Structure 1
Amino acid sequence: MEAAADQTPRSISPLKAPRKRKRIVISCTECHRRKQKCDRASPCSNCVARNKQSLCHYENESARKQQLLEESVNRSAEEGGVYSVIKPAESNTAAQFSAFGYAKSNGNPNTTLGIFKKIEDNETNGALISSLHSTSGDHSGLREKYKSLIRQLPAKPFIEDLVTMYFQEVNLHYYPLDEGIFRDLLMSWNGLSFSTLNKGPLELSGDLQFFPGLLFQILALALQFQPPHYDPSLESLKYAAGMSLDDLAMDYSESGSQILCLLGKRNTTLVAVQAGFLRTQFMKNCGLVPESWHNLSQTIRDAQEIGLHKEIFDYRRKPETTPEEVLENLWFEQLRRRVWMLLSLWDIHMAVVLGRPTTIDSRDGKPTFPIDAPIPVNRREIAPAPRTDSDPPTPLTMLLWNVEVAAPLWDIFNLEKEDPRQNNIARVEKMHKLLNQISMHCPPFFRHENTDTSFDHLPGCTWLPAARQYFRSTTNFTIMALHRPYIFTNPSSRTAALKAGLEILRAQRAYFDLIRVNHYKMFALVLNTFDAIILCSAIYILHPCENGEDLDDVLQHFHFCMERFEIMSSRNTMANGALSVLKAIHVRLKRALSQAKCPVNPLPTPAPSSTSASNNESPPEPEMKQETPTPSIYPPPPDPSQDQNPAPTPPYTLPTISNLTSAAPPPVQTPGTSHAWDAFSAPLPAPLQNQNYDFSSIAPLQPMHDLLFNDLGTVDGGAGGGGGLDLNSAALDAGWSGMNGASAGEAGPWQFEGDFGNDSFWGFMNSYHP
């Protein structure tokens, strides 16, 4: 019995031992060993500062989470000031929960993240800072790296001049920044003392930590858009012989990117998201489009970290909040909505243009758009209110309408995946009719026909004429993107895509005439033009007998495009590569048209309209300031001065979709229009006869994707034309004659090379010598 009694305590004592410590160890193993305050991130800030990320782990993740929840029951959140939404205590949450995989809270304080925010507000914000004082040596590396980067900022007079230039020349294109909010942050940054900066970035608020990263991107874009004869004082910013402003701009942009990487994702704020977007824009202008696409994806993730994709703004007013702070918070909410809307627009546009996946899931729904409200001088005096018809449009007005027109790109993007064999013509027709309705409701001051120019003379609306052409290009790009996957198999889509592409070329030429030389680096000048001209050329190369009424315009704009690319090539890196591809396409286009077995200029066909007749005249002079547009496949916007016919206007001029896609073989032929397959009723060229080529097997045409991601280029086969880019007709005709001499088994000049598949349009062109 005594032995049993002696054994009882020994068998129970191991069970009671864990109860001696009621508080579970929730610090990482390194902080617990060093007896330091741990912020419980993964990895924590102490391990990051000591470069010991690999050693930072926690003994019991589930117990740690439970302990955090129990500790947070009696804690309450302390709201910040105007920028409380983006202060470190707010924006740390998603990054600190990255190990758990939790998404950003939607403002509900009862969720896990909402509860954890209370811990952050009361403990992390103060306790972490206090612990930094005791372990300042551990953060010396971070502090010194941060200081070495901000030392690269130029003197304040240069910063002021370049910032002013940015807001005058660059910001209005996409409107990612609010100048008033930025100026407030710049004033706060300039007011920081050396002793404060010397303590390191963790002593600053979340916005000011990332602010130099944003400032570097602004300086880079301002330098990128400098005119050829820029201010000579900028020469003093160069630190090496032979250095250009482009080199300096790249250095600034890289420094800004390094600051974002140095600070990590735990304290991401709206300022960091804006800096990421400007970095994306800068890289696209440099021709680094694949890199910019990756950077955009990362920026979107940063935006999701701080909840830009959700409506999380808290309308509850605290008793101590002043009316001025309430108004400023409302304007800040508008800025958050605007930035997310812009990121969404770029995500889908780059996905469609480049053939890349989107980062945003369209099934998440569309968040609330910002109000089209004129930005006041003082945000603390006026609440956001929609602009009236008498108010002049703002860059935000243009951005909202671009998003409205580009919204169908999400459906187009999904349709390409749902209909890989390009059979759903009925849905394409329905979507095209919806696009027509959007165009018809376009505000009069954005229309290129029946335009309201009453605001053009205002000082704040000097951008309107160029924006009008940009909107025209965006509208037609959506239509072209809808029909582009179907051009190899469906005649009606060829017609629709051709007319939309031709409208893009007209808009791009008018836009080019309205901008200055310092804007030649804009990526849109190449992207939109290259996509449209390649698509139009592909249609005429493979189907030379169709759409003859537009052929003269296409050939003329082909020459205009090559001229523009030649002019921009010294300032736009993408223009060089695109120009060589255009030259190779031009050779094949001329040969295909010359060898066509049917008329290529159907001018004698039944009487066209007066508008159409004006477009089939001899090409005008090169300036051609006043162009008469070819009849569009969608109806023009209604004229308010005329009575509207209640009968719906057909979305297509003849030939209609119903005629060309009838299930009953053979389809009905429309008078005055070539049959959809007449181009191949005549004897086919030798390569096609031998291969019995099925055009439905060609992958959807994505020119910019192949140019930028697949290293699309050209190599001179040696039959003529030379290796240069001479644009005179004699040089191009030499290449044309060389191809005329190539037999079916020979490789003609200007072969395409790159990492494209055998089923691509370029691979087909290398074996197709009509």
Structure 2
Amino acid sequence: MTDIEVAVNVRAERGPTKKRRRIVISCTECHRRKQKCDRELPCGNCRSRNKEAHCAYEAGAPTAREHETHAGLYSSSSRVDRLGSGSGTPTSRAEPLSSMAPSWGYAQTGAASTLSFLQKIERASTSDGDDGLGGGGHGDDDDEAAARATSYQDSFALKEKYKGLIRLLPARMYIDQLADIFFKEFNWQYYLVEPQAFRELLDQWTNLPFKVLSARGPEALSPDLRVFPALLFEVVATALLVLPKSLHESFASLKYAGNMTFEDLAGDYSESGVAIINLFGPKALSVTSVQVGFLRASFLKYTANVTESWHQIGRTIRDAQELGMHRDALDPKPASDDVESVLLNQWQVEKRRHLYMMLASWDIHMCLILGRPGALDWRHGMPTLPIDARFAKDTDRSKTPVIPREEGRDPPTPLTRNLFLYKTVIPLRDIQDLESEGPCPRDFSKVHKIQQNIMEIHDSTPAVFRMENPDRQWDNEPDLHWLPQARCLGEQMFHFTLVALHRPYIFHREESRVEVIKGCLGMLEMQRQLFVGLPPKSWKNWHLFYGSFDAVILLATIYILFPYENAEYRELALRHCHWAVERFATMKDMNLLAKSAIGVLRAVVSRLVKAIGKCAPPSSSAGTSVDFLRNSSNTPLSTGRTLGSTPTSSTGRGSAEGSHKYSPESLTSAPPTASAQDETSAFPAMMPGGWEIPQDGGGLPGLAPFFAMGDLIYKDLTVDQADDVLVPPTDLDLLGGDSFMWQFEGGFGQDTVWQFLNQHQPSGDGTG
């Protein structure tokens, strides 16, 4: 064999010559554009081009840092890898600790977090040329952090899932119409989405070239624009819930299955929004992500999924805290020192603070309604409240400063309302703290102090939102059509805080029972006025449920257990209870919560009628109504104030709320006899005939505080009904008959009001 043949054979055994791979030391964007990269994350070039989200480094390519490792400059983590592999050379490069810490749950915001300390250590070791704990030289930590951030960007499956979801969005023509419905009918309640910012993002999304999504997918978009389709899904879904019947035919083409309702379609759209958010996870959050989570919670509550809504609010609060919304020190900084960047950043900060304020309001409100723990620890403080600023409508916010609105001169905004509602719910924090002292606190001075604070807040109600002698100069403005509803809901919130304050003590303290009765009557009156003014499409509103259900249950419980007390409110309470049942019967096909609760209300009201032995109010055919007790000598509050509302001239809707008025003096309830009044201090004498006191020695003081709404949702409170009965019936004997003594069922305990009411078997003589 010749020398040439030997050389050929040797070369064949070695295989083809491997191509030398050049060291990649630039980010993918600089490498593509053939620019010099400073190897920051994001690098200077990407920052100057507003492409921070695209700045990434190839994970598998060798870098200049790897050549330094051959000199023995390995991190402690790399040494562990080498020892574990049994080889003298590292099999893989260790991930920097600063990029691993977020995966372990350490905060990504804040100057005093473990992650920030790791980053400082790594920067110091890099700048000094000493690896130390950093585990890498210049740019090594950036490469590894980018590897984690780009793991989903290069995934073909994620890109296809994203494209598959956004294909479900309706056409721009439908989006525009449904967005208008959303902003008019729903957004004013919480002001979760700013119309101007929404329109700007919508234009950006619509003008996005298709090849951007088909080539690179969502990684080519900014963090807010990336999840903007999820916001679109939630806005469209919410609008479909309040879609007027006159527009049903216009949007019928959006349905894709036979017998599909708009509620079904709305549920699909909302689930698609959640699916988009879940694609990116909690490590790719933005302010838009928090808006999506908030709208999702609102959608769930609007569709009677209250438990899921409560969990969603908790998750959204955690996302907001991950973004640093809970601290002023974590507010975003301007991208540059120019005026436009500073002004735009101010509006962004105000937006973040408003979202967190509303999350806090929802959290404490749902806690006191459902009897559940909250996601916020108020002891840690709150960020600065947003400024009640003038609307920068149809103007460039980068050229408009945040100017406070002038009371009485500038029209109110939804933010104006939300700021006052937040002030109204602040006492709920102190009320929640009182729960630890139980139903029999040693010192009631705390209760009195909180009540005084509630009354002072109510006295400071802005003129445009108060019920009595309001400022109506803006009522006819098209953009302020929501003002009448806002007044009712604000007054209802005030009464709810009083009810929540005294509710734990109604079984032990007569003064608390009086305050709860007045607060419940106030809530029910606001519900009556609100219901009369709402079209059927708005009967799904959550406020129409909780404001009536809790009030009726509390009123009935107090008068069943203590029938001889507060006789001056008895007839009015009975009337409002019947009207509430009528409202629930009217809207049960639209409001799923009302449908699930109407049986409980019927059973409670039937027991109330038997207990107090009074006549039922006129039916809806009689067209009667009653003014709420106001400015009457027999309705003083213990604080020296009276509950008041503005008389309204309501028109009948086929319910009991007609136009005829009764004055408080015309109520026909007779006061109890002197002998009965003298016996109110003794528990057995107060009880109606036929009650069976629990034999465990606890008696009435052994009853646990109850949350009617929470029991309905979490303990499956229901009533065993033989058939569906129209309530209120015109036959009083039928209402008071034994056939209506339904039993409460559910997962409640033996020491609850429901178990106690199950033992209530009135004698039927009408004496209670």
The answer to whether TM tops 0.5 is yes
Maintained 8 Å contact 1:107/1:114: no
1:579 and 1:360, CA in 2 relative to 1: closer, same or farther beyond 3 A?
Answer: same
Letter in 2 for 1:384: V
In structure 2, do the counterparts of structure 1 residues 117 and 544 end up closer, same or farther at CA, with 3 Å as the change threshold? farther
Counterpart mapping for 1:590-601 below 5 A: 590-594=609-613
Aligned residue among 561, 569, 572 for 2:580: 561
Aligned to 2:277: 260
Q: What is the count of residue pairs matched by the alignment?
A: 637
Distance in 2 (CA, whole Å) between partners of 1:544 and 1:116 is 72
Query: Matches of 2:622 and 2:466 in 1, distance apart?
Result: 25
Question: CA-to-partner distance for each residue in 1:643-692, whole Å, 9 max, x for gaps?
Answer: xxxxxxxxxxxxxxxxxxxxxxxxxxx99987753674367634435736
Is 1:246 equivalent to 2:263 in the alignment?
yes
1:21-32 map, 5 Å: 21-23=73-75
Contact 1:228 1:517 in 2 (8 A): no
Name the counterpart of 1:362.
378
Looking at structure 1, the residues matched to 141 and 277 of structure 2 have their Cα atoms a distance apart, in angstroms, of: 20
Q: Among residues 382, 401, 408, which one is paired with 2:427 in the alignment?
A: 408
Query: Which of 206, 210, 229 is equivalent to 1:194?
Result: 210
Whether 1:737 and 2:755 are equivalent positions in the alignment is no
Which residue among 479, 504, 510 is the counterpart of 1:460?
479
Does structure 1 residue 697 correspond to structure 2 residue 702?
A: yes
Which SS does the other structure have where 1:275 is aligned?
helix
Indicate conservation of the 8 Å contact 2:692/2:760, yes or no: yes
**Cα distance change, pair 253–542 in 1 and its aligned pair in 2 (3 A):** same
Q: Is the 8 A contact 1:337 1:368 kept in 2?
A: yes
1:491 aligns with 2:510: yes
* Equivalent position amino acid for 2:749 in 1: G
Q: RMSD of the TM alignment (CA)?
A: 3.8
Change (3 A) 1:690 1:145: closer
Q: Retained in 2: the 8 A contact 1:508–1:529?
A: yes
Q: Which residue of 2 aligns with 1:273?
A: 290
Q: Return the offset for 1:588.
A: 0.8
1:562–1:727 contact (8 Å) kept in structure 2: yes
In 1, Cα distance between the equivalents of 2:487 and 2:190? 14
Distance between the aligned counterparts of 2:539 and 2:140, measured in 1? 48
CA distance in 2, matches of 1:374, 1:114: 41
Which protein has greater RCO, CA pairs closer than 8 Å, 6+ apart? 1
C-alpha distance in 2 between matches for 1:169 and 1:216: 17
Residue 437 (1) aligns with residue 438 (2):
no
Residues 70-98 of structure 1: CA deviation (Å, up to 9, x unaligned): xxxxxxxxxxxxxxxxxxxxxxx9x9614
Q: Choose which of 327, 335, 360 in structure 2 pairs with 1:344.
A: 360
Structure 2 CA distance, aligned partners of 1:305 and 1:415?
Answer: 30
Name the counterpart of 2:191: 175
The answer to whether the 8 A contact 1:107-1:312 is kept is: no
Q: Identify unmatched segments of 5+ residues in structure 1.
A: 1-16, 34-57, 69-92, 595-599, 602-615, 640-669, 717-721, 740-747
**Aligned pairs (5 A) from 1:619-698:** 622=623, 624=625, 627=628, 629=630, 631=635, 633=637, 634=639, 635=641, 676-677=680-681, 680-681=684-685, 685-688=689-692, 691=695, 694-698=699-703
SS at match of 2:493: helix
1:458 CA displacement: 2.3
State the alpha-carbon separation in 2 of the partners of residues 587 and 674 from structure 1.
27
After superposition, the Cα gap between the structure-2 partners of 1:381 and 1:672, relative to the gap in structure 1 and judged at 3 Å, is: farther
More moved, 486-495 vs 381-390: 381-390
Aligned partner letter, 1:291:
E
Aligned equivalent of 1:706? 711
Quote the offset at 1:126 in angstroms: 8.8
| Counterpart in the other structure of 1:532 | 551
Residue 247 of structure 2 aligns to a residue in which SS? coil
Query: 1:241 Cα shift?
Result: 0.6
Task: Measure how far apart 1:271 and its partner are.
Answer: 0.4
3-state SS, counterpart of residue 744 of structure 2 = strand
2:660 corresponding residue in structure 1: none
Matched, 1:380 2:398: yes
State the distance in 2 between where 1:414 and 1:526 align: 26
Aligned with residue 151 of structure 1, among 140, 150, 167: 167
Task: Compute the displacement of 1:104 (Å).
Answer: 2.9
Amino acid of the structure 1 residue aligned with 2:549? F
SS at match of 1:499: helix
State the AA in 2 paired with 1:20.
G
**Do the aligned partners of residues 196 and 27 (structure 1) sit closer, same or farther apart at CA in structure 2, a change above 3 Å counting?**
farther
1:754 pairs with 2:746: yes
In structure 1, the residue matched to 2:350 is 334
Task: In structure 1, give the amino acid aligned to 2:689.
Answer: P
CA separation in 2, counterparts of 1:638 and 1:385?
35
CA distance in 1, matches of 2:184, 2:117: 44
Name the SS for the 1:451 alignment partner: coil
Quote the residue 1:657 is aligned against: none
Percent sequence identity over aligned pairs:
35
Tell me the distance in 2 between the aligned counterparts of 1:27 and 1:279. Answer: 47
Q: Secondary structure of the residue that 2:719 maps to in structure 1?
A: strand
Per-residue CA distance 1:29-82 (angstroms, 9 max, x = gap): 8xx99xxxxxxxxxxxxxxxxxxxxxxxx9989xx43xx5xxxxxxxxxxxxxx
The structural deviation recorded for 1:548 is: 0.8
The residue number in structure 1 matching 2:58 is none
- For residues 373-393 of structure 1, give each alpha carbon's deviation from its aligned partner in whole angstroms, at most 9, with x where no partner exists: 122122233211221121111
- TM-score, normalised by the number of residues in structure 1: 0.76
- Within 1, Cα distance between the matches of 2:204 and 2:563? 64
1:323-366 Cα deviation digits (max 9, x unpaired):
22221211111110000000000001111100110000011112
User: Does structure 2 conserve the Cα–Cα contact (< 8 Å) formed by 1:477 and 1:504?
Assistant: yes
Q: Go from structure 1 to structure 2 and tell me whether the alpha carbon gap of 1:219 and 1:687 turns closer, same or farther (over 3 Å shift).
A: same
Partner of 2:529: 510
Q: Which amino acid aligns with 2:384?
A: T
Aligned-partner SS, 1:312 = helix
User: 1:736 offset after TM fit, Å?
Assistant: 2.1
Structure 1 equivalent of residue 653 of structure 2: none
Alpha-carbon distance in structure 1 between the residues aligned to 2:227 and 2:280:
8
Matches within 5 A, 1:391-402: 391-402=410-421
Equivalent-residue separation in structure 1 for 2:150 and 2:422 (angstroms): 51
Structure 1 position 621, deviation (Å): 6.3
Q: 1:383 to 1:467 in 2, by over 3 A?
A: same
Q: Deviations over 1:400-439 (max 9, x none)?
A: 1111110011111111123354544222122111111111
Any conservation in 2 of the 1:109–1:115 contact (CA below 8 Å)? no
Bigger Rg over Cα: 2
Higher mean alpha-carbon deviation, 511-520 vs 405-414, is at: 511-520
Q: Secondary structure at the match of 2:169?
A: coil
User: What does residue 475 of structure 1 align with?
Assistant: 494
Given the superposition, is the C-alpha separation of residues 487 and 638 from structure 1 closer, same or farther in structure 2, using an over 3 Å criterion?
closer
